[in-house]
């Protein structure tokens, strides 16, 4: 009796071997075959089929956003395949005979060719549809509608036409998912170029076919035949039906197809080329942003919101700006708008409206837990991405058993005659060059890469004007350093880069953090922000995405270093603040990691 195992479970098709074995075993204990079969089926229902059904229901309820976005491209692709298969198979004879009574035979052949073209077009469109292009949605509607007529016209294929109608209905219901607009200016240029190509090549080919000697193709072309074969060749229809007899004839067909291919490629590129947002930041806009930061800034990441890699959006109605960077049609916002708390929801709505006009999907990276309610009221979703480690500088002490390792690190450095110094700006070029040497070695030896967006990269000009804590060997050579950057959170101090050489002694990093805490206390700061510990604080995941993140951090080797980072910060931090990623729908989670990876690359 046939069965197919799925992860070790028989997926029943009739009775499987396992079920039959259970019936035999039950009969050995005095049960009838009917009773044994009933027990077995009841067991299998509760053990496999009921959980499967509940899982499908749960996914349909909570995963509907993904379904709404994924299913239309899948069905568009399927319709494209149906078109190609249908065009390559013979129609039902009776339907063909009845249809030929009303439609000329030549029109039936054209319908078949049209089905092929629509099939190829639908396959290409499905790729761009899944990316959210509005143009792809429009073209999918057009191609699906044309597919209905082509299926009816080629052989009265009702089944394929009904499938095309179903796809159109699905597209109508999912229309709001597609809003990325193509570049109108580029589209006009490309269409104009395409039409010039089309007109020039068609006229050239018609004339070429018409005046062509019969010896080239074995046909003495009429005007109608010249137009017909030109369109077939230019539109890349398979099976040209022309038998070339000479080298000239072969080259003519290749040239026509090549020019047709270039024209279609240009048209497709124009149709699906999104609007590119680009806006240079002026000196005035940076000054305006700095003034707003002084008034409303309250984050350790505010310093990075006016760095060169960011775009700035200034509210038209409120004293506010949003710092973001674009990637893959996402506007990745660093934290939240800089504004008064009472205006935050209004500024977010204004920025969201702006993003829609620019065909951008806004997401918010490293949002504070205190602001979650604002985004949830706007219909947004969130996942926890980690925690920021905060040190209570005023009450930090090296006393106690739990700080023994830190005391040992400091004592070890002192015994080896290493010194920890705080250098105040401005710094000399020679000093910055020494830091650059440490940084370059750190990048090379430890296989690191410069990252930006929510952190900085080595910038000699910026470092010249920032306090630096460095560890020096007995010869005065610098072996590690960290730089102190402006922190707009009241009473808080923070740092950016923390780097060391390969041969720096153990304890250098601890020594610099301890000196930073002393620096903060001596300069009137009450706390030190040690930055984000990614994936920390997700021991009890609140949703599927967080469960996946927790699993990945535990199982994927390249992510396990996050645990080391968390352990390092736990030695100092007394407060952990949850940080979140805010997004619109579950489907975006499939694209966000790639977008975040892109925005964190330095601007080239």
Q: Are residues 485 and 468 in the same domain?
A: yes
pLDDT along the chain (604 residues), means of 10: 41 56 74 75 74 63 62 87 77 64 58 72 78 79 86 75 88 78 57 67 72 70 75 58 68 69 65 54 82 93 93 92 91 94 93 86 93 90 91 90 87 91 95 95 91 92 95 94 95 95 91 95 94 82 65 58 84 92 85 89 82
- Assigned domain for 429 exists: yes
Judge contact between 454 and 301, C-beta under 8 A. Answer: yes
Residues 259 and 329 in one domain: no
Helices vs strands, H then E, count in the chain:
22, 13
Q: Does the residue 169 lie in any domain?
A: yes
Burial (CB < 10 A; 0-12, 13-18, 19+), residue 273, is: middle
Q: Which residues of 126-143 are buried (b: 16+ CB within 10 A; e: fewer)?
A: bebbbebbbbbbbbbbeb
Q: Which of 177, 201, 232 is the last residue of a domain?
A: 177
Angle between helices 223-234 and 247-271 (to 10 degrees): 50
How do 9-12 and 3-6 pair as beta strands? Answer: antiparallel
In a domain, 587, yes or no: no
Closest by CA to 96, choosing from 151, 164, 146, is 151
Shared domain check, 489 and 371: no
pLDDT attached to residue 180: 66
* 3-class DSSP assignment, residue 280: coil
Task: For residue 150, tell me if it sits in a domain.
Answer: yes
Establish if 22 belongs to a structural domain.
yes
- What's 434's domain CATH number? 3.40.630.30
Residue 12: DSSP 8-state: E
Do the Cβ atoms of 230 and 205 come closer than 8 Å? Answer: yes
The answer to whether residues 131 and 116 belong to one domain is yes
CB atoms within 10 A of CB 325: 23
Q: How far apart (Å, rounded) are the C-alpha atoms in residues 567 and 558?
A: 16
| Measured distance CA(225)–CA(415) in Å, rounded | 96
Q: Does 596 fall in a domain?
A: no
Boundary residue ending a domain (211, 236, 271):
271
The two tokens of residue 271 are 């149709």
Residue 463's nearest CA partner among 427, 492, 438, 494 is 427
Using alpha carbons, select from 344, 351, 368 the residue that is nearest to residue 312: 351
pTM: 0.69
Under a CB-based contact definition with an 8 Å cutoff, are residues 231 and 203 in contact?
no
Residue 425 pLDDT: 94
Is 237 within the bounds of a domain?
yes
Secondary structure (DSSP) of 79-124:
HHHHHHHHHHSPPPHHHHHHHHTTS-HHHHHHHHHHHHHHHHHHHH
**220, two tokens:** 């003495």
Q: From residue 114, how far is each of 161, 226, 539 by CA, in Å?
A: 14, 19, 57
Collapsed DSSP state (helix, strand, coil) of residue 223: helix
Closest CA to 136 of 362, 363, 359, 325: 359
Burial class (CB in 10 A: 0-12, 13-18, 19+), 151: buried
Per-residue pLDDT, 57: 63
Q: Is residue 398 part of a domain?
A: yes
Rounded distance, CA 327 to CA 595, Å?
A: 5
pLDDT at 24: 76
Task: Report CA Rg, the chain.
Answer: 34
3-state class (DSSP) for residue 480: strand
- According to DSSP, residue 235 is labeled T
Matching residue, tokens 């090379």:
444
Cα(566)–Cα(553) distance, integer angstroms: 12
Distances (CA, A) of 64 to 175, 206, 518: 15, 52, 53
Q: Assess whether 23 and 71 both reside in one domain.
A: no
**What CATH number did the domain enclosing 236 receive?**
1.10.287
Cβ atoms of 130 and 81 closer than 8 Å: no
Do 214 and 232 belong together in one domain?
A: yes
Q: Same domain for 470 and 340?
A: no
- Does residue 487 contact residue 466 with C-beta atoms inside 8 Å? no
Distance between the two ends of the chain, CA-based, in angstroms? 64
Measured CA to CA, the distance from residue 108 to residue 87 in angstroms comes to 11
Q: Are residues 424 and 542 in the same domain?
A: yes
350 with 445, same domain?
Answer: no
pLDDT at residue 13, rounded to an integer = 44
From 62, 94, 116, give the residue that closes a domain: 62
Q: Show the domain range for 234.
A: 184-271
Beta bridge mates, 528: 391, 493
**CA triple 41-45-51, angle to 5 deg:** 165
Report how many domains make up the chain.
Answer: 5
Indicate if 336 and 443 belong to the same structural domain: no
Q: Which residues contact 242 (CB under 8 A, 6 or more apart)?
A: 217, 219, 229, 233, 249, 253
Q: How many CB atoms lie within 10 A of CB 460?
A: 13
Would you state the structure tokens that stand for residue 163, as one six-digit string?
A: 């499938």
Residues 347 and 416 occupy one common structural domain: no
Quote the CA–CA distance of 63 and 60 in Å, as a whole number. 6
Are both 525 and 442 inside the same structural domain?
Answer: yes
- Non-local (6+) Cβ contacts of 433 within 8 A are none
Whose structure tokens read 């494209």? 80
Show the CA angle centred on residue 580, arms to residues 577 and 583, nearest 5°.
165
């Amino acid at each position: 009796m046939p069965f197919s195992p799925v992860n070790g479970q028989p997926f029943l098709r009739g009775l499987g071997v396992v079920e039959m074995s259970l019936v035999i075993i039950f009969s050995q204990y005095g049960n009838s075959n009917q009773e044994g079969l009933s027990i077995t089926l009841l067991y299998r229902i509760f053990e496999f089929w009921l959980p499967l059904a509940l899982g499908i229901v749960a996914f349909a309820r909570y995963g509907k956003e993904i379904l709404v976005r994924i299913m239309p491209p899948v069905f568009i692709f399927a319709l494209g395949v149906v078109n190609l298969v249908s065009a390559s198979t013979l129609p039902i004879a009776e339907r063909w005979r009845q249809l030929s009574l009303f439609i000329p035979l030549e029109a039936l052949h054209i319908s078949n060719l049209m089905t092929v073209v629509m099939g190829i077009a639908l396959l290409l469109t499905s790729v761009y549809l899944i990316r959210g292009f509005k143009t792809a949605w429009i073209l999918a509607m057009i191609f699906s509608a044309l597919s209905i007529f082509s299926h009816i016209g080629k052989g009265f294929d009702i089944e394929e036409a009904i499938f095309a109608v179903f796809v159109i209905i699905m597209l109508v219901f999912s229309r709001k998912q597609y809003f990325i607009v193509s570049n109108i200016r580029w589209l006009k240029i490309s269409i104009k170029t395409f039409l010039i190509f089309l007109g020039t090549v068609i006229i050239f080919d018609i004339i070429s076919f018409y005046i062509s000697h019969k010896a080239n193709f074995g046909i003495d072309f009429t005007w109608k035949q010249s137009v017909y074969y030109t369109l077939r060749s230019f539109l890349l229809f398979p099976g040209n039906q022309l038998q070339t007899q000479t080298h000239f004839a072969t080259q003519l067909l290749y040239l026509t197809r090549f020019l047709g291919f270039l024209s279609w490629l240009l048209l497709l590129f124009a149709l699906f080329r999104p609007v590119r947002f680009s806006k240079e930041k002026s000196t005035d806009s940076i000054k305006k942003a700095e003034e707003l930061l002084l008034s409303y800034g309250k984050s350790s990441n505010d310093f990075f919101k006016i760095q060169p890699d960011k775009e700035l959006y200034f509210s038209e109605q409120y004293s506010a700006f949003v710092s973001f960077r674009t990637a893959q049609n996402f506007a990745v916002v660093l934290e939240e708008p800089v504004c008064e708390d009472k205006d935050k929801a209004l500024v977010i709505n204004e920025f969201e409206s702006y993003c829609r006009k620019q065909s951008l999907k806004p997401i918010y990276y490293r949002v504070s837990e205190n602001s979650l309610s604002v985004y949830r009221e706007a219909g947004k979703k969130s996942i926890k991405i980690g925690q920021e480690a905060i040190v209570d500088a005023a009450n930090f002490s090296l006393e106690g058993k739990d700080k023994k390792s830190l005391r040992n690190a400091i004592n070890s450095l002192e015994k080896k005659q290493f010194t920890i110094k705080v250098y105040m700006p401005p710094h000399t070029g020679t000093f910055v060059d020494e830091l650059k040497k440490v940084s370059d070695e750190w990048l090379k030896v430890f296989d690191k890469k410069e990252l930006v967006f929510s952190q900085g990269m080595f910038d000699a000009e910026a470092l010249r004007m920032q306090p630096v804590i460095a560890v020096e060997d007995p010869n005065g050579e610098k072996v590690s350093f960290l730089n102190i950057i402006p922190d707009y959170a009241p009473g808080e101090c923070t740092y950016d880069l923390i780097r060391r050489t390969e041969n720096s002694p153990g304890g250098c990093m601890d020594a610099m953090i301890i000196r930073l805490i002393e620096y903060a206390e001596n300069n009137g700061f009450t706390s030190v922000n040690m930055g984000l510990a990614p994936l920390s604080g997700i021991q009890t995941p609140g949703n599927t995405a967080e469960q996946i993140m927790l699993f990945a951090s535990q199982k994927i080797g390249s992510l396990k270093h996050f645990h080391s980072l968390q352990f390092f910060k736990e030695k100092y931090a007394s407060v952990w603040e949850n940080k979140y990623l805010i997004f619109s729908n579950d489907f975006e989670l499939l694209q966000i990691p790639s977008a975040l990876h892109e925005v964190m690359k330095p601007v080239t």
